[in-house]
A and B are shown apart, each in its own frame.
Chain A
């Protein structure tokens, strides 16, 4: 049942590129470029990106450090504007941040003066007047015993889970993940990957995740976007047609990983 549901998802994502005429894609980048001023000189971070992400997809973005992955995610979140081109979400140009697009940063960025529950409340549109929703989120990320803890009392993985719950609190359509698992140890990372998978499969979320980890990309994604080194351009897009849950030791898994490595090494 679970596999079928997600295999269906993958197929839809394959179709969407050819038949996107009916409904606008969830996320659409058209000719997006971004320049920064560095030391008084313009530096091209991203150049001419075109991409359409369908509703319900899990897209991973990989590429070498400094290729503009984080910038891309920040632009989709609305924290930054592209220098050229347009970013649209459901056909509407992104002008600023919205609860509709939850972003989890590399670091948890919880307010240190507020408890875990309070931090998550700030993400809820009703600011936690509905306690049930708050507790549902705490349970979802397994932090119900730490509702009244301050962020300094949490481990790295727990803090990232709290940040994830805060991002999910606004009931976003899109979840943007900027290597939120990057700083975690191997075991915590595996657990969080599984948790993320579960949350994605049980909802209608569209996920765009930046990662360094090729295994993680193949394990989780319906599609993987490979960016070239600076200025970042789309080097290749791979659709991962494997059923969920995926087996890291399977032969097919390695084929995808090798394919990614090949594209990365070309660039």
Chain B
């Protein structure tokens, strides 16, 4: 969780090189300097445009991710615990898993139009598989000796879920959720570039048609920063939930 001074060295170096390059007049007319970008950013913040894009992107992510987790965790548990269910769904899901979410965007635009449904579908699709696969992995890796304890203690199915399955699978489950969220973040940006009039992905595409490199940079920086912050959030949650295995 420590960001550490060392981690700041490279970003600062890049900014410094960028600054120098701009000062030396390298890439004039194509590459905007840091100062230019900062001024544009202030403008976008003052007009509320940037906040609006961020807000709508985050809203889509939260909705899509919650929907994906709500589908993937129960199906993962079912697939891990009941082999007939797994036998029905595995081949189809195995096939779908190989198709990148972006490939579906043209199809979804045809079927659902370029409304929110398309974006939501892409996010759900992108987040589903890592969550689903990691749920299964986490449960199938539970030591058989623990299942015997559950039988000896006569735990009810609900207790088995709460006391054994979820905590034992938690490390893998959280890894899956974290991966699912970062996948959905990527898919969202792609979807917004192809089928949206708002959001950070749209902001970058729109900036391209206006040849505004500075706005593109701001869009990219915002995507990276929010992705990073979300991932830190996951790490924090992981620490809290997996306190029992902390070895400090």
Q: Which residues on A are within 8 Å of B, measured CB to CB?
A: 77-79, 96-99, 102-103, 105, 107, 109, 111-114, 122-123, 127, 150, 152, 166-167, 170
Contacts and interface: CB of A to CB of B under 8 A. Distances in A.
B145 interface: yes
B58 interface: no
Nearest to A103: B152
Contacts of A150: 244
Contact of A112 (B151, B152, B244): B244
12 contacts: A77-B152, A97-B154, A98-B154, A111-B163, A111-B164, A113-B167, A113-B170, A113-B244, A122-B159, A123-B153, A127-B159, A152-B245
A127 B154 CA distance: 11
Contacts of B167: 111, 113-114
B155 interface: yes
A170 B159 CA distance: 16
A187 B198 CA distance: 72
A183 to B, nearest CB: 15
B152 to A, nearest CB: 5
B177 to A, nearest CB: 17
A112 B146 CA distance: 10
Given A77-B152, A97-B152, A122 B163 contact: yes
B149 A111 contact: yes
Interface string B98-127: 000000000000000000000000000000
Nearest to B163: A122
A43 B166 CA distance: 37
Contacts of B151: 78-79, 96-97
Contacts, number: 52
A200 to B, nearest CB: 20
A170 B153 contact: yes
Contacts of A167: 152
Nearest to B143: A109
A112 B245 contact: yes
B168 interface: yes
Given A114-B163, A114-B167, A150-B244, A109 B146 contact: yes
Contacts of A105: 145
A122 B170 CA distance: 19
A127 B151 CA distance: 15
A99 B163 contact: no
A99 B244 contact: no
A14 B112 CA distance: 82
A79 B153 contact: no
A109 B244 contact: no
A78 B153 CA distance: 12
Q: Residue among A96, A122, A152 with the most chain B CB within 10 A?
A: A122
A77 B247 CA distance: 35
B149 A109 contact: yes
Given A98-B154, A152-B244, A113 B149 contact: no
Given A111-B146, A113-B244, A166 B164 contact: no
Q: Which 8 A/B pairs are nearest by Cβ-Cβ distance?
A: A113-B167, A113-B244, A97-B151, A97-B152, A150-B244, A109-B149, A109-B145, A99-B154
